[in-house]
Structure 1
Amino acid sequence: MLEEVIWFDPAPASYGNWEPENLPYEDVWFSCEGEKLHGWLVEHESPRAVVLFLHGSSANLSYRDEVVRKLHDELGLTVMVFDYRGFGRSEGKLNGEAALVADSLAARRYLSERTGVPEDEIVLYGRSLGSAMAVELASRDGARAVVLQNAFTSLPDVAHEHFRFAPVYRTMKYRLNSLSKIGQYQGPLLQSHAEQDDVVPLEQARRLFEGANEPKTFLVEPGFKHATPASQEFFEAFDALIDRLPQTEANTAKSATGDLSAE
């Protein structure tokens, strides 16, 4: 459990703000490998896109309410954020990389079933740890678009920056090797990174970006550190990305039935 403590640090349900003001969320539950996982679904009446928010390590989803609010209120998106097993109200404990991936796949599947949007037409937004999950899902099945914030090449690469004399490349069970997978994703990418990131060096983010296919955009947030909340410039770039996306078949069908306003 040492790696889980060092790199993930999940906060139980006793921590956080579980009743945020002015966020029209619905508590949702879905199952993965016998564990009951919890999320917040914030639906927009006329969504420009449906987003699965894969959050980072530490805390739980209740600490991400402001990000979800901005995506919903200012960008006009339907958003779901969830907790991996062992985080927040989700059952179970982290027990390996495969469990993280399984939880993320289950969340995307649930979101697709709830919204009627095919899994490969969901926008994947991953921050830090969640960036590895976003790359994993996109490399497997595609995505309407991918947004990565403070992403890393692999978890052993991050560990090497902090424990230079430890044999991390041989001993770590969590690999989360996004660099080896991002080239398998064919679609729009927005990647942002804190200029003074004190957890994941900016150089790692640039290497990951170089491995990605076009179309892609890279944004550096000047003066920011790893845990600094996203800038308004980031949300503007996110907004611009959504504007550039072609209309999907699912959205076209919803528009035809009046479920979506014309873009």
Structure 2
Amino acid sequence: MPLEEVWFQSGDGTKLFGWYVEAQADRPVVLWCHGNAGTIINRLENLRELFRLGLSVFLFDYRGYGRSQGKPSEEGLYQDAVGAYDYLTRTRMIRPDRLILFGRSLGAAVAGELAAQRPAAGLILESSFPSIEAVAKHYYGGMPVHWLLGASFRLIDRLPLLSLPKLIIHGDRDDIIPIELGRQVFEAAQPPKEWYVIRGADHNNTYQVGGAPYFRQWAEFVQRAIRM
């Protein structure tokens, strides 16, 4: 893949790092907000498959992740997504009607907040949860990630405000974010929206278990969203 290293600034000036992969100049562009675990290097296999669909992708690391500076915080991650969006629209001059926002797990809350602040053609939420509180209730003892304690990530508050097309994806064997929480996300979203369940997939292998039908769902949704 033609991986281009990108340094850009968060909304509050923090220096961040990402990769941009361009399929063709006129193709849809995916702005990818990844989950809590790992960095962008852990998403290379998945990134390659999206590139094979003919999609350009901007995948970046939040503050405190990988080569990006700073320390993670809820507001900081929101600012990082805004910075990534502004880089695409202001530096690369990509029109919002060509942009698909994609968030997986924790990144779904980040992408949802970004969609509430900036226009885009569509929003894909995968392995998402309504709020940290909802996940903590499931685990009873709280979510097992120390820096998230005290954060809220209330995606469920943003969804009723978003009128852009939405695709909400979840694995039916997700043992970290149960599918019931993903269903709550879908039910809170206003139309247009689509619900796609990956049979046999857990939290971290959705695209691998989903295979060709998963990526076909992606391609069809992007095509519909860009045309709307």
Give the structure-1-normalised TM-score: 0.78
Give the structure-2-normalised TM-score: 0.90
Q: Which has the higher helix share?
A: 2
Q: Name the structure 1 match of 2:194.
A: 217
2: CA distance between counterparts of 1:127 and 1:221? 14
Q: Name the structure 2 match of 1:176.
A: 153
Which whole-Å deviations, capped at 9, do the CAs of 1:141-182 have from their partners, x for residues lacking one? Answer: 23200011100000121122113589xxxx942100011111
2: CA distance between counterparts of 1:37 and 1:119? 21
Identical aligned residues as a percent: 35
Deviation at 1:100, TM superposition (A): 0.8
Alpha-carbon contact 1:109-1:119 (below 8 Å) kept: no
Q: Name the structure 2 match of 1:76.
A: 54
Counterpart residue identity of residue 155, structure 1: I
Which residue of 6, 15, 18 corresponds with 1:39? 18
For residues 1-263 of structure 1, the aligned pairs below 5 Å read: 23-32=1-10, 33-73=12-52, 75-94=53-72, 96-119=73-96, 121-164=98-141, 172-230=149-207, 231-232=210-211, 233-247=213-227
Deviation at 1:241, TM superposition (A): 0.8
Q: Secondary structure at the match of 2:169?
A: strand
Deviation at 1:244, TM superposition (A): 1.4
1: CA distance between counterparts of 2:165 and 2:63? 29
Deviation at 1:247, TM superposition (A): 4.3
Note closer, same or farther for the CA distance 1:153–1:224 as it changes in structure 2 (3 Å cut): same
Note closer, same or farther for the CA distance 1:205–1:50 as it changes in structure 2 (3 Å cut): same
Q: Secondary structure at the match of 2:135?
A: helix
Report how many residues are paired: 220
Unaligned regions of 5+ residues in structure 1, if any? Answer: 1-22, 249-263
Deviation at 1:193, TM superposition (A): 0.3
Deviation at 1:114, TM superposition (A): 3.5
1: CA distance between counterparts of 2:141 and 2:150? 17
Counterpart residue identity of residue 59, structure 1: G
Q: Secondary structure at the match of 1:117?
A: coil
Counterpart residue identity of residue 176, structure 1: F
2: CA distance between counterparts of 1:58 and 1:120? 30
| Greater alpha carbon shift after TM alignment, 75-84 vs 222-231 | 222-231
1: CA distance between counterparts of 2:83 and 2:153? 18
2: CA distance between counterparts of 1:88 and 1:100? 14
Unaligned regions of 5+ residues in structure 2, if any? Answer: none
Deviation at 1:120, TM superposition (A): 6.0
Note closer, same or farther for the CA distance 1:207–1:229 as it changes in structure 2 (3 Å cut): closer
Deviation at 1:46, TM superposition (A): 4.4
Deviation at 1:192, TM superposition (A): 0.6
Alpha-carbon contact 1:46-1:76 (below 8 Å) kept: no
Q: Secondary structure at the match of 1:53?
A: strand
Note closer, same or farther for the CA distance 1:101–1:65 as it changes in structure 2 (3 Å cut): same
| Greater alpha carbon shift after TM alignment, 137-146 vs 23-32 | 137-146
